Amino acid sequence: MASTSPAATPLPDVPSHLTMSREFIQRHQIVERYLGGRLPPKGVQDFERFCADNPSLLDELGLPTHVNAALRLLEAGGRPPPWEERQRKFWEKPHALIAVAALALLLGGTALYLRSRLQAVEQRIAGLTQQVANRPIDPATSTRSITLIPSRTAPSRRDAVVLGEGAAQIADLKFDMSWSAFTVFRVTIDRIDQGRVAVLHNALRDSSGQVHIALNTSALGPGSYQFTLEGLNWRNEATPQAWITVGVGH
d(CA 225, CA 197): 9
Phi and psi for 80 in degrees, rounded to 5?
Answer: -75, 155
Residue 7 has pLDDT above 70, yes or no: no
Residue 1 has pLDDT above 70, yes or no: no
pLDDT at position 222 is 85
d(CA 44, CA 24): 14
More confident residue, 149 or 249: 149
Q: Are 227 and 244 in contact (CB under 8 A)?
A: yes
Please report which confidence band the pLDDT of residue 136 belongs to, taking 50, 70 and 90 as the band edges. low
Residue 74: CB atoms within 10 A of its CB come to 14
Please give the share of the chain, as a percent, with pLDDT higher than 70.
78
More confident residue, 153 or 13: 153
pLDDT one-digit tens code per residue, 82-91:
656 566 666 5
In the chain, domain spans:
22-76, 143-248
pLDDT at position 91 is 59
Please report which confidence band the pLDDT of residue 5 belongs to, taking 50, 70 and 90 as the band edges. very low
Mean residue pLDDT across the chain: 79
CA proximity to 147, closest of 56, 213, 191, 61: 213
CA proximity to 28, closest of 38, 16, 42, 13: 13
Residue 217 has pLDDT above 50, yes or no: yes
Q: Are 155 and 192 in contact (CB under 8 A)?
A: no
Residue 55 has pLDDT above 60, yes or no: yes
Please give the share of the chain, as a percent, with pLDDT higher than 90.
26
pLDDT at position 2 is 45
CA proximity to 244, closest of 165, 143, 175, 167: 175
More confident residue, 248 or 90: 248
pLDDT at position 9 is 43
Mean pLDDT, range 130-139, rounded to an integer? 65
DSSP state of 173: E
pLDDT one-digit tens code per residue, 153-164:
999 889 999 887
CA proximity to 150, closest of 140, 141, 158, 139: 158
pLDDT one-digit tens code per residue, 25-43:
777 777 778 777 777 888 7
pLDDT at position 127 is 73
The residues that bridge with 184 in the sheet, in sequence order, are 204
Mean pLDDT, range 134-162, rounded to an integer? 84
**CATH (residue range 143-248):** 2.60.40
